Amino acid sequence: MNTHHPLIIEPIPAFKDNYIWALRRDTQLAIVDPGDAAPVFAYMQQRELTLTAILTTHHHADHVGGVAQLLAQHSVPVFGPKNEPIQVLTHAVSEGDELEIPQLDVRFRVIDVPGHTRAHIAYYGAGALFCGDTLFACGCGRLFEGTPAQMRTSLTKLRDLPDDTLVYCAHEYTLSNISFARMIDPNNAALIERERRDTGLRAANRPTLPSTLGEEKRTNPFLRWETPEIIQAAQQHLGAPAGSPDQVFAAIRDWKNRA
Ligand SMILES: [Zn+2]
């Protein structure tokens, strides 16, 4: 085991705005949500890496579409959610399961986070959270197969992780998410600072990720259903009082869908 080498986590850009996350230690590589095989092959060849594991968060093609092609070249374990239609899994996992990638000396805990899809999962370990299309930087995923209440419960589980957790989501949606957040939470100083910083990163063609959970808690309206500013915004969108956290969350999710 090459534990004297640091664990490196970096994005492999794919499609228009996806990130396939690469985890490597020395020459060993694991990847999260390979929607496309070609950029992964290129990344491996440039660095002479050996693929050891594939992790998937949910069944959408832009997250699993490259798995079969990668498996044709490399026989490795493929982890992913139980109860989603993914044919290529070797290890179907759900909340409470732990998985180990011995070649990288890392362990992950599986967290069920339904909402974007029916059985979406997240992986938490080594101070990192791989949350697919559930939590985004300053946003959250669309509700294709779940209810607002399910999604808010899922986001609550993620919000309960330590503030210094590094958040690795699967898309570069940050600036458009920040625009929406600024509209409904205009006086949030941490959000204003985040917009300034992340606008600079994108202007330099750099990723805005990972963020930290602490920053998400200060700036992401989809984790802030208890704050007066977000409740007020929800009521403005509804034109009526929002009585419960689920109603607040549902209202701002609906507003974002239409924005
Ligand atoms: Zn998705």
Residue 87 pLDDT greater than 80, yes or no: yes
Q: Of 173, 165, 168, 250, nearest to 215 (Cα)? A: 165
Is residue 184, in this structure, part of any structural domain at all? Answer: no
pLDDT tens across 180-225, in order? 999 999 999 999 999 999 999 999 999 999 999 999 999 999 999 9
Model pLDDT, residue 89: 97
Is residue 130, in this structure, part of any structural domain at all? Answer: yes
Residue 247 pLDDT greater than 80, yes or no: yes
Task: List the shell of residues around ion ligand 1, using CB closer than 5 Å.
Answer: 60, 133
Is residue 28, in this structure, part of any structural domain at all? Answer: yes
Provide the domain limits for residue 136: 8-178+207-219
Would residue 133 show up in a list of annotated catalytic residues for this protein?
yes
34 CA → ligand 1 middle, Å: 12
Is residue 153, in this structure, part of any structural domain at all? Answer: yes
Rounded CA gap, 219 and 221, in Å? Answer: 6
7 CA → ligand 1 middle, Å: 26
Would residue 36 show up in a list of annotated catalytic residues for this protein?
no
Is residue 94, in this structure, part of any structural domain at all? Answer: yes
CATH of the domain at 116: 3.60.15.10
What's the number of domains the chain is made of?
1
Residue 98 pLDDT greater than 70, yes or no: yes
- Check 62, 112, 185, 198 and give the catalytic one: 62
Would residue 116 show up in a list of annotated catalytic residues for this protein?
yes
Is residue 88, in this structure, part of any structural domain at all? Answer: yes
Is residue 250, in this structure, part of any structural domain at all? Answer: no
Residue 1 pLDDT greater than 60, yes or no: no
Model pLDDT, residue 259: 85
Would residue 91 show up in a list of annotated catalytic residues for this protein?
no
Is residue 27, in this structure, part of any structural domain at all? Answer: yes
